[in-house]
Structure 1
Amino acid sequence: MSKNGNVYPHLPIVTLKIDGPPYPRLPDSLATFVTEGSDFYLNATDDVTIWGGDYLGCPDDATGSEVSSPLTIDGFAPYSAYPDSYNSLLSTWIEALGSTDEGSNPDSGGDAGQQIAIASYINPLGDPASWERLLTYDTQKVSVLVANVLNGPDYMVDESWKSVIDQAASQGKKILGYVRTGYLGVSQQQFTTRLGSHDLADWASQIEQDIDKWFELYGTSLGGIVFDEGWPECGPNNIYADLYAYINNYTKRKHHGVYTVLNPGSPIAQCFEDTMDTLLTFESSYETYTNSFVPNDWMPKDPRKIWHIIYKVPQDQIASVAALASSRKAGFLEMTDDDQPNPYDNLPNEAYMQAVIGAVPGGTPLIDDLAEVTSSSVVGLPSDAVVSSSDYSSVTLTWSSVENALGYAVYKDGVQVLELPASLTRATIGMIDPGTSGIAFEVRTILALGSGGSSRLISASTKSLPANGTNANVGFTQNGDTVVYKADVLVPYAFVRLFIGTKQPDIGIVHGWPIQAPGVTLGMDGQDTAYHEIVNYLVEGNDFYSGFYKYSGAWYETAKANADWSWTSIGVATQSQSGYTYTWNVPFAGTDAVASEYVIQGQGYAPLNNVFMGSLRHYSIL
């Protein structure tokens, strides 16, 4: 290369160990390797047939030595040492030679070949046809899918999701349950847990409870967990990387053989390399991927460690993007022609999907086995564990650290519900029914060796809800074009939404999003009818960003089909949460919204709850 003036040749001479382990079946090699100690010896062959033609070694008078003279080298340049254009040529060359390696070559077939992993946030009840297509695709090509019920597992089985999870498992696909990690509460957004906490221990508590809830609801059909909103920085003394590794080990110990993915959606530090089976390190547009891609500053041992998601990819660029991803050591790939704000809510058309499937060789995920656990839980330590607080659906325990502890296990009524690293001495146990009394908790210390201590039970209770249920102090004030809504939401939900209606005609069919009100009546013609509040505006988000939307779906009042969830952004309506109190500031200028006609809805991790305010009600035939 140096004699060439650092101009890269059209085809590689040597960038990988292409003959001998781990590449025993690569045909028609240009060279063979001999290993002696830490040295590799490259022996060029005299006559190699490639692509039906002859490749002859350089004549002796050009090289100044015999063809059989060995060239000693001390290693191989990593992919990162070469530009993408060169790596793309390398991928094409190896593929043309017909390699069927199952080693670390990212372009090989077999188990290690590039595969398709899809963040399939498509409601199977609303779009069953897309799931029918997903389930028919070759498992060696489309190997990983994601189930996202309500930013997590919710609190009860969703039968439509259970059906696709079971079917995917029967075909050998890995379908992963979605778990939020909120960037562990340390990002600019300062995300909170569902209970409104930024505390690292509370995030760890919620994450582990969501993991176990997924497997409680969907059993062994679930192939693993994808941990979204992953924080990509190691932290002081590797605290964040170590916590993700601890959560990964917890998952694999309790649910054997599962596959784990961490998604920061951005480059990630090498301290995370062994925290999960796969790391999703790119999640952005085709333009960014081709023009301003930022790689990790380290290369994975196996390309199946890396997953890239690229949206807004033109169909005629699918093959080139797949080759580019392969050169960047991305063993998993998702491409879609969809765009923001949600590129994952539908499946591209069949021609597009077949082009994606045809662009990858296929394989299977790499799942690391968990080493045997040699530690033991010692009952009764620490001795100062106490209930520090409780509310309607959760209890928080705190304790002092124990010398030489490897971690702490928390038990509820004799069943382990959490396990935390030694750096965390607090746990919040959620998803408890309001008004539950006499709950018995224990905190046990995990030690490598040792015994002693007697069982010490800590009794706790949760508050009972008021007579009017999970919402209280609901109301609004209007000042010009700005309307401020407030409500106390006493239990945590995956989503707390504000819907606003318009002045509807007394006669005529009403268009909008229907929210069913309590009670069903029997119509005069013998058909059941249900009362609905018809709304046309939505506010949804969090403290960091909350959008204001107008209904753009096709549903009308007398329609029997499911209403389509389709909303168009019309601006921002700020939302904030302080304790139980939610506050929304909504700009009414340019809308036909009626401030007094609104619904506050809580959904996920508790029974669906709608608080209707106003008088407009309409009915539809069930």
Structure 2
Amino acid sequence: MRSRSDLDRSPGAGRRRRLCAAAVSAGMAAGALVSLPVGDASAAAGIQQRVAVPAYFNPGDGNLWAQLSSPAPGAGLAVANPQTGPGDSKDTGYANAIKAAHNAGTKVVGYVDSGYLGTKGWTAPDGGTSIDDWVDGAERNIDKWYSYYGGSGLDGIFFDDGLTACGTPSDANAYVDAYKRLRSYVKGKDAGAEVVVNPGASPEECYTQAADTLVTFEGTYDDYVNHYGDDRESWEATADPSKIWHLIHTTGSQARMQNAIALSKQRNAGYVYATDDDNSHAPGQEWGNPWDTLPSYWSAEVNTVG
């Protein structure tokens, strides 16, 4: 299953890492601890939030999928990801898990890689590296998702590896128009489908027309509390909270999770997920996966958000 470290999410992510490292170095040089912002949930008491989970774990791994919808209200949204996408055949375990979660009130969206629309030179599922190649490949995977799991209550599609810029110097809307095409394709399958695009950082405002929900932050707890605003677009402050999803890993403790949730309320995120899982990986692996289990404080997080 594809998982990006926060260093690869967007052009601005490397700058955030450098700023974070500089702040830590400065604090160590001064012989002092680096202070972190403290969230105040009461400052945004009107924000209605739900937990939204990148559920990159197999239904056969313990009872993690069953836990998604409990304790009530459980997760409001979950991403299913059998094989960095739907795979080449229906998986009965996933079909049952999606159906159970959907019936319990958790919207389940299927993972589709959009490959940064070829801007990193990656090859699309059907070959080629152009924007059209990636859109065509994504459409074939959307077809598979609805063919395999539409009858199980699939609630929409999650496009990973999204972009933050609307377009190129020669075509100002080249990228966002591609995501609009994909959104229309999904809505053609199900007019009520939830369409999520994950650039992992704040995209330009044009993307609010390309998705129902945008992942505008994906990274570590320390980056979230120290550098969240480095590249934040102004539209986020006044958007409908349901448009915004924040993903925070490497929290380390329940208290830090609660602080992250409080900060996310102040930052207008209608969907949020914090986990004590981290981005560590074995030697030789390119990326770690901080989304391969539920946090140790799962019930407390549901209660904190709900």
Q: Which TM-score band applies after superposition, normalised by the shorter structure?
A: 0.7 to 0.9
Query: Within the alignment, does 1:131 sit opposite 2:65 as a pair?
Result: yes
Q: Among all aligned residue pairs of Structure 1 and Structure 2, give the percentage whose two residues are the same amino acid.
A: 36
Instruction: Tell me the equivalent position of 1:247.
Output: 182
Q: Please tell me whether the aligned partners of residues 260 and 276 of structure 1 are also in contact (alpha carbons under 8 angstroms).
A: yes
In 1, the alpha carbon distance for the partners of 2:187 and 2:127 equals: 28
Which amino acid counterpart does residue 214 of structure 1 have in structure 2? W
Matched residue of 1:118: which SS? strand
Q: Please tell me whether the aligned partners of residues 69 and 101 of structure 2 are also in contact (alpha carbons under 8 angstroms).
A: yes
In 2, the alpha carbon distance for the partners of 1:93 and 1:291 equals: 19
| Alpha-carbon offset, residue 219 of structure 1 | 1.5
| Alpha-carbon offset, residue 310 of structure 1 | 0.4
| Alpha-carbon offset, residue 301 of structure 1 | 2.5
Instruction: Tell me the equivalent position of 2:261.
Output: 322
In 2, the alpha carbon distance for the partners of 1:247 and 1:192 equals: 18
Normalised TM-score (structure 1): 0.40
Instruction: Tell me the equivalent position of 1:298.
Output: 235
Shift in alpha-carbon separation, 1:183–1:292, aligned structure 2, 3 A: same
Which amino acid counterpart does residue 212 of structure 2 have in structure 1? D
Which amino acid counterpart does residue 250 of structure 2 have in structure 1? K
Query: Within the alignment, does 1:331 sit opposite 2:278 as a pair?
Result: no
Kindly report which structure 2 residues correspond to 1:145-160, keeping only aligned pairs within 5 A, or say none: 145-160=78-93
Q: Which has the larger radius of gyration?
A: 1
Which amino acid counterpart does residue 193 of structure 1 have in structure 2? A
In 2, the alpha carbon distance for the partners of 1:94 and 1:152 equals: 36
Structure 1 segments unaligned to the other structure (5+ residues):
1-83, 96-104, 107-112, 362-622
Shift in alpha-carbon separation, 1:135–1:94, aligned structure 2, 3 A: closer
Of the two structures, which has the highest relative contact order with CA contacts closer than 8 Å and spacing of 6 or more? 2
2:113 to 180, 192, 197: 180
In 2, the alpha carbon distance for the partners of 1:305 and 1:93 equals: 19
| Alpha-carbon offset, residue 142 of structure 1 | 1.2
In 2, the alpha carbon distance for the partners of 1:121 and 1:165 equals: 13
| Alpha-carbon offset, residue 94 of structure 1 | 6.3
Q: Please tell me whether the aligned partners of residues 126 and 137 of structure 2 are also in contact (alpha carbons under 8 angstroms).
A: no
Deviations 1:257-285 (A, max 9, x none): 11110000011101111211000011100
| Alpha-carbon offset, residue 256 of structure 1 | 2.5
Kindly report which structure 2 residues correspond to 1:474-553, keeping only aligned pairs within 5 A, or say none: none
1:281 to 216, 223, 230: 216
Which amino acid counterpart does residue 282 of structure 1 have in structure 2? F
| Alpha-carbon offset, residue 195 of structure 1 | 3.7
Instruction: Tell me the equivalent position of 1:345.
Output: 292
Deviations 1:24-74 (A, max 9, x none): xxxxxxxxxxxxxxxxxxxxxxxxxxxxxxxxxxxxxxxxxxxxxxxxxxx
Instruction: Tell me the equivalent position of 1:360.
Output: 305
Which amino acid counterpart does residue 346 of structure 1 have in structure 2? T
| Alpha-carbon offset, residue 239 of structure 1 | 1.4
Normalised TM-score (structure 2): 0.79
In 2, the alpha carbon distance for the partners of 1:329 and 1:157 equals: 37
Query: Within the alignment, does 1:231 sit opposite 2:166 as a pair?
Result: no
| Alpha-carbon offset, residue 217 of structure 1 | 0.7
In 2, the alpha carbon distance for the partners of 1:85 and 1:128 equals: 36
Shift in alpha-carbon separation, 1:180–1:289, aligned structure 2, 3 A: same
Q: Please tell me whether the aligned partners of residues 117 and 131 of structure 2 are also in contact (alpha carbons under 8 angstroms).
A: yes
RMSD across aligned positions (CA) = 1.9
In 2, the alpha carbon distance for the partners of 1:287 and 1:218 equals: 37
In 2, the alpha carbon distance for the partners of 1:94 and 1:342 equals: 31
Instruction: Tell me the equivalent position of 1:201.
Output: 132
Which amino acid counterpart does residue 228 of structure 1 have in structure 2? D
Shift in alpha-carbon separation, 1:327–1:298, aligned structure 2, 3 A: same
| Alpha-carbon offset, residue 197 of structure 1 | 1.2
Question: Structure 1 or 2: larger helix share?
Answer: 2
Matched residue of 1:298: which SS? helix
Q: Please tell me whether the aligned partners of residues 246 and 269 of structure 2 are also in contact (alpha carbons under 8 angstroms).
A: yes
Which amino acid counterpart does residue 140 of structure 2 have in structure 1? Q
Instruction: Tell me the equivalent position of 1:501.
Output: none
Q: Please tell me whether the aligned partners of residues 156 and 217 of structure 1 are also in contact (alpha carbons under 8 angstroms).
A: yes
Which amino acid counterpart does residue 298 of structure 2 have in structure 1? M
Q: Please tell me whether the aligned partners of residues 318 and 359 of structure 1 are also in contact (alpha carbons under 8 angstroms).
A: no
Deviations 1:398-435 (A, max 9, x none): xxxxxxxxxxxxxxxxxxxxxxxxxxxxxxxxxxxxxx
Query: Within the alignment, does 1:211 sit opposite 2:142 as a pair?
Result: yes
In 1, the alpha carbon distance for the partners of 2:243 and 2:211 equals: 8
Query: Within the alignment, does 1:257 sit opposite 2:196 as a pair?
Result: no
Deviations 1:312-348 (A, max 9, x none): 1121122211110111111110110011111011112
Query: Within the alignment, does 1:169 sit opposite 2:102 as a pair?
Result: yes
Which amino acid counterpart does residue 208 of structure 1 have in structure 2? E
Q: Please tell me whether the aligned partners of residues 303 and 329 of structure 1 are also in contact (alpha carbons under 8 angstroms).
A: yes
In 2, the alpha carbon distance for the partners of 1:146 and 1:169 equals: 12
Q: Please tell me whether the aligned partners of residues 201 and 216 of structure 2 are also in contact (alpha carbons under 8 angstroms).
A: yes
Matched residue of 2:305: which SS? coil
Matched residue of 1:246: which SS? helix
Matched residue of 1:344: which SS? coil
Matched residue of 2:68: which SS? helix
Structure 2 segments unaligned to the other structure (5+ residues):
1-35, 280-287
Q: Please tell me whether the aligned partners of residues 147 and 176 of structure 1 are also in contact (alpha carbons under 8 angstroms).
A: yes
2:154 to 219, 222, 232: 222
Matched residue of 2:172: which SS? helix
Q: Please tell me whether the aligned partners of residues 146 and 175 of structure 1 are also in contact (alpha carbons under 8 angstroms).
A: yes
Instruction: Please identify, of 238-247 and 128-137, the stretch whose mean Cα deviation from structure 2 is larger.
Output: 128-137
| Alpha-carbon offset, residue 196 of structure 1 | 3.6
Instruction: Tell me the equivalent position of 1:92.
Output: 42
Which amino acid counterpart does residue 172 of structure 1 have in structure 2? G
Which amino acid counterpart does residue 303 of structure 1 have in structure 2? P
Question: Structure 1 or 2: larger strand share?
Answer: 1
1:114 to 39, 45, 49: 49
Q: How many residues were matched structurally?
A: 255
Q: Please tell me whether the aligned partners of residues 257 and 275 of structure 2 are also in contact (alpha carbons under 8 angstroms).
A: no
| Alpha-carbon offset, residue 254 of structure 1 | 2.3
